[in-house]
Amino acid sequence: MKIIFDLDGPILDVRPRYIHLYRSLAAKHGATGPLLDDAGYWELKRQRIPEKEIVRRSGLPDRRFAAYWNERMALIETEQCLARDRLHPFFEEAIKSLPRLADRYIATLRNRRGPLIRQLDRLGLMSLFCAVLSEDNNAGDAGAKERLVRRSGILDGYIGSLYFVGDTEVDIVTARSLGAVAVAVESGIRNRAVLERERPDALLPDIRGLIPLLERGLQVRDSR
């Protein structure tokens, strides 16, 4: 059995990082309206509202969005920002409950592998996974994560059970492309309504729900 996890959302709580960037950069680049509170900003992200629309609602002129976005992207994977991420409180319980024979992998579209590996090492995650699949400066398109997994070679000649656990519509599409069971979790950047539209094989509050699925041998849906 192989289980591939997306990192941000299923494993890490990235809300503090995203909210910090929104609040600091919107004000810096000239937002004139009151900024959203933390819960309000995050719920809009979970509804898949584009960042441009979110900052527009906060009074940032459209002409200043490019500067806002460019600085956001320059900062979002710096080690200073990554230090704001937290392991979900349920992670340790969930990972220890997984079958010992399951090979576990992380697949992420982070663009800077060095800071990523140092973050995972600091959080004590490196020893818990067989490999961390990532590339510097990945394309970021809908098929990027599938290509990342295939290029890694972890599926070469493999015919056993395969699960892909993620928190976005892209993760669900990736699972389908890989022939994996698509397990979506609500602990990340998309809410239940958005995830349901993509019809994953399973939709869970968080990764603690994996164990019952694995025990009953959940399969890929026959009709998608």
Domain boundaries, the chain: 2-13+87-215, 15-82
What is the reported pLDDT for 185?
98
Cβ–Cβ < 8 Å for 190, 6 = no
Which backbone phi and psi does 127 adopt, to 5 degrees?
A: -75, -10
Mean pLDDT across 113-128 = 96
Contacts of 94 (CB under 8 A, 6+ apart): 206, 207, 208, 210, 211
Res. 222: pLDDT tops 60:
no
Could you give the C-alpha distances from 151 to 3, 132, 144, 155, 212, in angstroms and in order? 17, 13, 11, 9, 31
Cβ–Cβ < 8 Å for 173, 142 = yes
End-to-end CA distance of the chain: 23
Res. 141: pLDDT tops 90:
no
Mean pLDDT across 22-51 = 96
The number of beta carbons lying within 10 Å of the beta carbon of residue 108 is 21
CATH fold group of domain 2-13+87-215: Rossmann fold (3.40.50)
Q: Rounded distance, CA 83 to CA 16, Å?
A: 9
pTM beyond 0.85 = yes
The number of beta carbons lying within 10 Å of the beta carbon of residue 59 is 14
Res. 150: pLDDT tops 80:
yes
